[in-house]
């Protein structure tokens, strides 16, 4: 073996080792933020010294720091290549608006600390993933792992909902989680039904992709079960915004194969099968009630129709959210361009809240991510985040259109659906302020952008060979 061949062999080995380390690092990060309610960890609950619990509470940040260091060292050792991404200028503009919004703010320390935490656990993630994930197969592995973990979150949420007991985290939530929604809706390990619904809506189209990309195999049936768990968990959150987001995401993913889905449904859902299925369901309900499931069945039926009824009476049921548009206008009248300061609106909520805001709500946010950005960073910050999200969607869409048919192209379509659904969901609550949802979203963004870079590199390689 020549020296050149030996060097190439060492390069391949180091690349494989680096990819395995990256896969383990990202896999552990996603499992931790999904399965451990780190945001609510308290010293009293775990009987540990405060410094240890602080590490557990903010563990995602040092993990991301290690991944960033890994990217830098990999770049020096030629295992990775630090890359710019297509949304660089827009990221810079939005971050600059956030920084300038803190000039002269009343709560400078709090805003600065939040700025030191939010971007590294958000906007930094796509850069790290694009630099570390250089093969489509690795993107697929990470996404499938995320589907497995999210299905585990859904299964736990379903179990707690059916049994009415959260044996692992329930006591901690009741003591330390001000947003705990109880066991009447699936909150799972995320700690709140709205948070959990957004998380599962983000993951749902990837579950469909994992199922569709397997072909006719045992793995296909397994991923079908996992996707079914995510869908069921999403349904039991009874979160209307997440329902619409998940429906929009799945609709975008399934639209190119709408004819196939429709024809398959027509073949399977024949009138006699529909009648037989309804008959079995009606006979099965009394059996399930006799086995002790009467409570969950009645609870589900009541909650479902209750949520639909609330959707009709928006002016009454959503009076708090509607009032926050007026609150935002009051803020922008005083701070039109840069807002009250990044991460500081909750401290100033009582000062600016509109008189039409109903009492009895513990929320001190706008319950709308776009309004929240407007309040904290003004018109410049809102313009920055809107343009950034638009350019991101456009980049994924262009990558999808340019990709050849196959799993890579379908993955970008799933990403497009997931992101568009999330854009709607952000209009129903300040989703990017919740750490698990924020990191999940930006991890999927990073994987989608990594996939577009990989496909673009392949196309350039084909062009060079053709020339």
**Burial (CB count within 10 angstroms: exposed 0-12, middle 13-18, buried 19+), residue 24:** exposed
The pLDDT of residue 452 is 93
Burial 229-266 (b: 16+ CB within 10 A, else e): bbbbbbbbbbbbbbbbbbebbbebbbeeeeeeeeeeee
The pLDDT of residue 265 is 65
Beta strands in 241-292 (DSSP E): none
- 168-173 mean pLDDT: 88
**Using 50, 70 and 90 to split pLDDT, how confident is the model at 467?**
very low
Beta strands in 315-444 (DSSP E): none
Per-position DSSP letters for 173-209, written without gaps between them:
HHHH-TT---SSS--GGGTSHHHHHHHHHHHHHHHHH
pLDDT at 199 over 50: yes
How far from 113 is each of 34, 99, 107, CA to CA, in Å?
Answer: 24, 12, 10
Separation between Cα atoms, residue 343 and residue 372, nearest integer Å: 9
| Mean model confidence pLDDT for the chain | 85
The pLDDT of residue 215 is 74
Distance from first CA to last CA of the chain, Å, rounded?
Answer: 32
188: left (phi over 0), alpha (psi -120 to 50) or beta: left
Convert the pLDDT of each residue in 24-79 to its tens digit: 999 999 999 999 998 887 643 334 444 445 678 889 999 999 999 988 887 676 66
Percent of the chain topping pLDDT 70: 81
Separation between Cα atoms, residue 190 and residue 36, nearest integer Å: 8
Separation between Cα atoms, residue 10 and residue 221, nearest integer Å: 39
- Token pair, residue 447, equals 């994987």
Convert the pLDDT of each residue in 313-330 to its tens digit: 666 668 888 899 999 999
Provide the CB-side half-sphere exposure for 205 (13 A, CA). 30
**Using 50, 70 and 90 to split pLDDT, how confident is the model at 261?**
low
The pLDDT of residue 375 is 97
Separation between Cα atoms, residue 463 and residue 457, nearest integer Å: 10
The pLDDT of residue 382 is 98
Assign 3-state DSSP to the chain and report helix, strand, coil percentages, each to 5.
80, 0, 20
How far from 244 is each of 24, 165, 188, CA to CA, in Å?
Answer: 33, 28, 20
The pLDDT of residue 294 is 61
């Amino acid at each position: 073996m020549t020296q050149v061949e030996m060097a190439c062999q060492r390069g391949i080995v180091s690349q494989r080792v680096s990819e395995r380390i990256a896969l383990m690092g990202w896999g552990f990060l996603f499992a931790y933020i999904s399965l451990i309610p780190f945001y609510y960890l308290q010293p009293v609950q775990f009987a540990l010294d405060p410094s240890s619990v602080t590490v557990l509470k903010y563990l995602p940040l040092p993990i991301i720091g290690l991944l960033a260091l890994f990217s830098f060292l990999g770049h020096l050792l030629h295992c990775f290549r630090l890359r710019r991404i297509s949304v660089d200028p827009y990221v810079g503009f939005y971050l600059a608006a956030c920084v300038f919004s803190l000039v002269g703010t009343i709560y400078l320390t709090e805003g600065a600390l939040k700025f030191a935490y939010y971007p590294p656990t958000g906007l930094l993630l796509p850069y790290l993933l694009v630099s570390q994930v250089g093969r489509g197969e690795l993107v697929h592995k990470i996404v499938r792992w995320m589907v497995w973990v999210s299905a585990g979150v859904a299964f736990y949420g379903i179990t707690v909902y059916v049994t009415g007991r959260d044996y692992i985290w329930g006591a901690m939530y009741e003591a330390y989680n001000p947003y705990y929604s109880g066991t009447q809706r699936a909150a799972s390990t995320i700690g709140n039904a709205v948070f959990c619904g957004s998380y599962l809506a983000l993951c749902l189209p990837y579950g469909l992709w994992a199922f569709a990309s397997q072909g006719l195999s045992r793995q296909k049936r397994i991923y079908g079960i996992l996707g079914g768990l995510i869908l069921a968990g999403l349904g039991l959150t009874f979160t209307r915004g997440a329902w619409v987001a998940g429906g929009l995401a799945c609709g975008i993913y399934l639209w190119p194969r709408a004819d196939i889905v429709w024809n398959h449904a027509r073949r399977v859902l024949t009138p006699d099968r529909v009648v037989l299925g309804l008959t079995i369901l009606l006979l099965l309900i009394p059996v399930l009630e006799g086995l002790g499931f009467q409570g969950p069945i009645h609870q589900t039926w009541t909650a479902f129709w209750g949520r639909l009824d609330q959707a009709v009476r928006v002016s009454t049921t959503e009076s708090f959210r509607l009032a926050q548009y007026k609150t935002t206008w009051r803020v922008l009248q005083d701070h039109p361009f840069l807002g009250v300061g990044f991460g500081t609106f909750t401290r100033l909520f009582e000062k600016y809240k509109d008189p039409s805001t109903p009492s009895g709500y513990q929320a001190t946010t706008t319950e709308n991510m776009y309004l929240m950005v407007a309040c904290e960073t003004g018109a410049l910050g809102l313009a920055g985040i809107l343009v950034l999200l638009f350019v991101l969607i456009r980049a994924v869409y262009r990558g999808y259109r340019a990709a050849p048919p196959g799993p890579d192209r379908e993955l970008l379509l799933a990403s497009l659906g997931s992101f568009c659904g999330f854009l709607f969901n952000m209009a129903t609550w300040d989703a990017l302020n919740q750490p698990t949802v924020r990191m999940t979203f930006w991890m999927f963004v990073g994987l989608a952008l990594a996939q577009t870079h990989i496909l673009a590199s392949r196309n350039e390689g084909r062009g060079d060979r053709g020339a």
